[in-house]
A and B are shown apart, each in its own frame.
Chain A
Amino acid sequence: MSEKGKQALLLLGSPHAWGGTSAALGLYLLDQLSGHGIAAEKLAAQAALSAAGRDDLLRAVEAADIIILSFPLYVDSLPASLIAALESLAAAKERNWTAKQLVCLVNCGFPEAEQCRPALAICRRFAVETGMRPADGLAFGMGGILGGKQLDEMGGMMKNARAALEMSAAALSRGEDIPAAAVALMAKTPIPNWLYTAVGNYSWKALAKKNGVAVKLKDRPYCQG
C-alpha cells in the first residue's frame, strides 16, 4: 500500500519548457506517481536562475519527498541551467534532506542510453553532497524520437519507456529505489540504431533545406584565412 501525503517535485532541466522529451518523460512519471496518491509539483530549472526563482525552488524542494530531475544530455552532462539550480540548492543553509529521494531521468539524442552514465553519476553525487538519498535513475537513448509528443501518443514505440516509468513510480511510492528492471527497460531502443541515425541525418538536411541553408550546412565560419 502506498504512503499518503507524499509529494513529488519534477525539476525540468530542458530549455524546451514543457513541450519536449524531458517534459514528456517527467510528466508521465509524475502522472504515475499521482496514481499512487503522491501529490505532484513541477518547476523549470531555467526559472530558478533569478533570485526569486531560487527561493521558489528551495521552497519546493523543502516541501517534496521525491525530487525528479528530468533533462536532456548536453555535452555528456546536465544542461548549465540545471547545474546552476543544483548549485543554488547545495548552497542552502541548515538543510536536512536525508528523507528525500532524488531520481534522475535523462534522455540523449544518441541511440545509446549508456552515454548518459556520467550525468546519472553527477546527479547521484549531488544527492550525496546535499544529504539526499539517491534513488538511481533512468536513461533513454533516441530522445529525438518523441518530436514533442507525449508518451501515450507514441503507441507501441514507447511501451518500454512507459513500463519503466510505471515500475519506477510503484517502487518510489513504496519508498524504494528505481528497480534495475526499469533501468534496463528504459535503455532499450525503440527502433534499430541504423534507422534512427538514417532518419536523423535525413532530417538535418531537410531542415536546412527548409531554412534555405542546405548548401551551407558544412560551412566553417570560424576558419582562419
Chain B
Amino acid sequence: MRAVILNGAAGDDAAAGSVYQTLTDLLRQAGWTVDEFILQDMNIAPCLGCFGCWTKTPGVCVIDDAGREVAKAAARCDLEIFFTPVTFGGYSAALKKAVDRLIPNLLPFFLKYQGEVHHSLRYASPPRFVVIGTMPEAEAESEEIFRTLAGRNAINLHADNHAAGVAYTGAGPDTVREKLVSILREGGVGDV
C-alpha cells in the first residue's frame, strides 16, 4: 500500500522535522511504501485559477512543473497525508501551493454532496485522508480552525475515511508518537 505525504514544513524547522520523522517511521514499520514530497524545496508555481486542467488538458495542470507529479501521486495513492505547521489555523504556504494544484484530480461538474454543492470526483476511489499539524504547544482557536479546514477538505475530496490532529512539538517523543498513532488510526490506518 502506498502513502503520499505532502510535507509543508520548513527545512530548518527541526521540531516539525522530528515529528515528521516519527510519522514516516510509523508508516514504514507498518509496511507502507511512502512517497514523500518535501514541498519547501520544490519548484511548484501557484495555481493560475484558469481551469485549464478541466477544459483544456482534462486532468492535467497546464503548468508543466513538479505540481503535476504531486497530483499524479495523489491520484494513485491509498493514503494521502498533509503535514504542516499550523499557520494562522490553516496550512503553510509551502503545503498550500501543492494542495491548490490538486484540482485536476476533480471534475468541474457540480453535484450535491453532504447537503452542499461540490465538484465530482475524477477518480473512482478517494484515498484515506489524514491531516497532521504541528504547533509548539496547545492553542485552542488555531486547532479548531485547523480541524474544521481539514474536515472541509475531506468533504471536497469525498474522503469517507479521514482524520486530522495536531502534534505539539514541545511534547516528549513518546507523546508525539502516541498522538500520531491516534490520528492515523482515526483516519483508517489501523495497522500502525
Contact = CB atoms under 8 A, between A and B. Distances in A.
A80 B55 contact: no
Interface string A78-108: 1111011011001000000000000000000
Interface string B127-158: 00000000000000110010011001100100
Nearest to A90: B88
Given A75-B102, A83-B92, A218 B152 contact: no
B96 A197 contact: no
A86 B88 contact: yes
Given A77-B96, A217-B58, A218-B122, A122 B153 contact: no
B109 A75 contact: no
B76 interface: yes
Interface stretch (B46-54, B167-175, B180-188): B46-54
Interface residues of A, number: 51
A147 to B, nearest CB: 13
Contacts of A115: 116, 152
B10 to A, nearest CB: 10
B105 to A, nearest CB: 8
Nearest to A22: B49
Given A16-B49, A125-B142, A207 B55 contact: yes
A129 B55 CA distance: 40
B59 A221 contact: yes
B117 A193 contact: yes
10 contacts: A15-B47, A75-B103, A75-B156, A80-B97, A121-B89, A204-B109, A213-B57, A217-B54, A218-B107, A223-B123
Interface of A: 14-16, 20, 46, 72, 74-81, 83-84, 86-87, 90, 110-112, 114-115, 117-118, 121-123, 125-126, 128-129, 193, 197, 200-201, 204, 207-208, 211, 213, 216-224
